[in-house]
A and B are shown apart, each in its own frame.
Chain A
């Protein structure tokens, strides 16, 4: 049996997204910027997609900028507003590298907002970091590793009060598959989403901005996307993203049936692991989490070795942060939550998708317990340390 529990890295595209993309690619080819009827078809296709994305996010269509993915959307959100704004960037310490590295590359002062053991941003510290010299605040809607959901309303209230001139951006890449974005993002000025995290294709994302947000482009050229993102649009991918969002919204349905079902499975998986591995610690349990994320650490077990054995056992999972080489580094998110570097190297991220079944979760739970037990009793880092 093969069980895929790495949906936060990217999951299978929804059949409706594939169908919509193939449908477009087999007939449409026009450049949306052209002046003839073939181009007009492409322009209509991408603008229809834009409407869909706008509705899913709760922004206006004019505020949707298609990008090459979540990373570009985050970069545009962080760097785009700085041309006409002075001041520092405030970002939570658990932001995705697309936000943190863009902030560092901006040359601006970066004020890091810490989180508690539960992964929630320290709102008191936030108040102390905010002043009239802040240009931008970026706090994610849900964390990429732990799935912890931030209280964006609470952040926004402090930003409006203490740094009224600042823009508030939220990376909603991990929240998008699970949460009702129009209500979650009501209080933000900008939000980023990514296609392949929610059943769409890779290589497409969007930055949504409110009408008052002025952005300078980071990609220069023909001035597409209202001069905010040059380059011929990836029409097929935008169509796929829109179709995935439509499907995802329908799946959620009344009362978020899918989210409730997946959260129940996730809790069952966590409980299995916590019950069978005595010193296992679940991350972010004191806070609300998106339904798909089960994140925990197994002290004394090296994540790398565990992932290897799980891969052999047919379970796809993840751990910490992968660096450019593909090696895993101790999770910076866990370290920000006060976990030691050593312990941050023993974590496992399991992320369920909307179609994950009970049978799969039970298979994975058994495999994980067996691999963790095997590694906990074998020669590894402990032996090195003993020398």
Chain B
């Protein structure tokens, strides 16, 4: 097979490239250049492209750079900024996967005559009971990334490979070290690639939009304090809301009235989540099917059902997920689908 390996310059995709090449496929590596602006970390700095190129040289494959920065700006960065302005807490990595890695790159690969695209994600593609390919959690539970892959639809799974899905992170690093790859000891990427570690979210957002002060009130509307930037407040947050807030947490962020409402922790407990942007790997689950819902990248799954009308009903009360974050439904350790928590 002719396989395009998406190489970010990290250890996981380095080893993915090596494994696909070792398996005897015709392999070409590509690094997506996504972010054109200033950043000191993440998967698209010049240094990361250099790292990927060096690994490709060592593995003995050709390497190309695909400049998707315009699409990234339009489909990931702009919505991220607009989401924050609307009081959401968006996860740009989800949108990057949805629009760039598992759409734009797949179409580019198809256009260039590739049979498959491999990435260095910690997840597995397995044959499901119905014979269709299914998306399964990684063999390394602690590093499992199936949550951020929930938007991959079944037809795309057919063209994808996750070569390190059966390995633990330790095994991946050991493999990279045994091959003498410099990325073997490279730290995992953290946080949002286009937000710099030094400036943080505030600096980034303030370069794009005006940040607005907001009143912090309790559920009765009593004024408890003020925050300098409503756009930086996340539902579930307590810190930074002022001393009068005490043991209360943000339960709503309303840009219209420039108000952050806080309430005691029990007010954050919910037994259902409304989702938008819902997608399914294969079929939409039935109303009565017992599923598991995971509400953050490494959160513990809880029992849940899907009401087929936009609501995930949870078996137990959980701390409310911030609007804009993803909720992913599993059948045991197979991804069924997911969506984004609404306001």
Interface residues of A (CB under 8 A from B): 304-305, 308-309, 311, 323-329, 375, 378-380, 383-384
B104 touches A305 (CB 8 A): no
B203 within 8 A of A: no
B111 touches A378 (CB 8 A): yes
A327 touches B33 (CB 8 A): yes
A304 touches B104 (CB 8 A): no
User: Shortest distance in angstroms between A165's beta carbon and chain B's nearest beta carbon?
Assistant: 38
Which listed residue (A308, A311, A324, A326) contacts B53, Cβ 8 A? A326
A304 touches B53 (CB 8 A): no
**Please, how many angstroms separate the alpha-carbon atoms of A311 and B30 in the complex?**
14
Which listed residue (A305, A325, A380) contacts B33, Cβ 8 A? A325
A380 touches B111 (CB 8 A): yes
B49 within 8 A of A: yes
CB-defined contacts of A379 to chain B, threshold 8 Å: 107, 110-111
CB-defined contacts of B108 to chain A, threshold 8 Å: 305, 380
User: Shortest distance in angstroms between B63's beta carbon and chain A's nearest beta carbon?
Assistant: 9
**Please, how many angstroms separate the alpha-carbon atoms of A380 and B53 in the complex?**
25
User: Shortest distance in angstroms between A143's beta carbon and chain B's nearest beta carbon?
Assistant: 22
User: Shortest distance in angstroms between B51's beta carbon and chain A's nearest beta carbon?
Assistant: 11
Interface residues of B (CB under 8 A from A): 31, 33, 44, 46, 49-50, 53, 62, 64-67, 69, 71, 104, 107-108, 110-112
| B99 and chain A: residue at smallest CB distance | A384
**Please, how many angstroms separate the alpha-carbon atoms of A379 and B110 in the complex?**
8
**Please, how many angstroms separate the alpha-carbon atoms of A304 and B109 in the complex?**
12
Which listed residue (B31, B49, B50, B112) contacts A308, Cβ 8 A? B112
**Please, how many angstroms separate the alpha-carbon atoms of A375 and B108 in the complex?**
10
| A341 and chain B: residue at smallest CB distance | B70
Which listed residue (B31, B64, B69, B71) contacts A384, Cβ 8 A? B71
A375 touches B46 (CB 8 A): no
B104 touches A327 (CB 8 A): no
CB-defined contacts of A325 to chain B, threshold 8 Å: 31, 33, 44, 46, 49-50, 65
Pairs of residues from A and B, 7 with the lowest C-beta to C-beta distance, nearest first:
A327-B67, A327-B33, A325-B49, A327-B65, A326-B65, A324-B46, A378-B111
Cross-chain pairs A/B with CB under 8 angstroms, 11 sampled? A308-B64, A323-B33, A325-B65, A326-B65, A327-B65, A327-B66, A378-B111, A379-B107, A380-B107, A380-B111, A384-B104
B107 touches A309 (CB 8 A): no
**Please, how many angstroms separate the alpha-carbon atoms of A375 and B64 in the complex?**
18
CB-defined contacts of A383 to chain B, threshold 8 Å: 107
User: Shortest distance in angstroms between B25's beta carbon and chain A's nearest beta carbon?
Assistant: 16
B112 touches A305 (CB 8 A): yes
CB-defined contacts of A304 to chain B, threshold 8 Å: 64, 66-67
| A324 and chain B: residue at smallest CB distance | B46
Query: Which of A324, A325, A329: most chain B Cβ within 10 A?
Result: A325
A329 touches B111 (CB 8 A): no
| B44 and chain A: residue at smallest CB distance | A325
B65 touches A305 (CB 8 A): no
User: Shortest distance in angstroms between B58's beta carbon and chain A's nearest beta carbon?
Assistant: 17
User: Shortest distance in angstroms between A308's beta carbon and chain B's nearest beta carbon?
Assistant: 6
| B34 and chain A: residue at smallest CB distance | A327
CB-defined contacts of B67 to chain A, threshold 8 Å: 304, 323, 327-329
**Please, how many angstroms separate the alpha-carbon atoms of A154 and B181 in the complex?**
56
CB-defined contacts of B104 to chain A, threshold 8 Å: 384
Which listed residue (A305, A311, A326, A329) contacts B49, Cβ 8 A? A326
**Please, how many angstroms separate the alpha-carbon atoms of A325 and B111 in the complex?**
23
User: Shortest distance in angstroms between A373's beta carbon and chain B's nearest beta carbon?
Assistant: 13
CB-defined contacts of B64 to chain A, threshold 8 Å: 304, 308
User: Shortest distance in angstroms between A344's beta carbon and chain B's nearest beta carbon?
Assistant: 12
**Please, how many angstroms separate the alpha-carbon atoms of A305 and B30 in the complex?**
12
A375 touches B111 (CB 8 A): yes
Query: Which of B50, B71, B111: most chain A Cβ within 10 A?
Result: B111
A305 touches B71 (CB 8 A): no
User: Shortest distance in angstroms between B45's beta carbon and chain A's nearest beta carbon?
Assistant: 8
**Please, how many angstroms separate the alpha-carbon atoms of A383 and B104 in the complex?**
10
| B107 and chain A: residue at smallest CB distance | A379
**Please, how many angstroms separate the alpha-carbon atoms of A325 and B53 in the complex?**
10
CB-defined contacts of B33 to chain A, threshold 8 Å: 323, 325, 327
**Please, how many angstroms separate the alpha-carbon atoms of A320 and B62 in the complex?**
21
User: Shortest distance in angstroms between B76's beta carbon and chain A's nearest beta carbon?
Assistant: 13
CB-defined contacts of A380 to chain B, threshold 8 Å: 107-108, 111
| B50 and chain A: residue at smallest CB distance | A325
| A377 and chain B: residue at smallest CB distance | B111
User: Shortest distance in angstroms between A340's beta carbon and chain B's nearest beta carbon?
Assistant: 13
User: Shortest distance in angstroms between B49's beta carbon and chain A's nearest beta carbon?
Assistant: 4
CB-defined contacts of A305 to chain B, threshold 8 Å: 108, 111-112
User: Shortest distance in angstroms between B22's beta carbon and chain A's nearest beta carbon?
Assistant: 22
CB-defined contacts of B44 to chain A, threshold 8 Å: 325
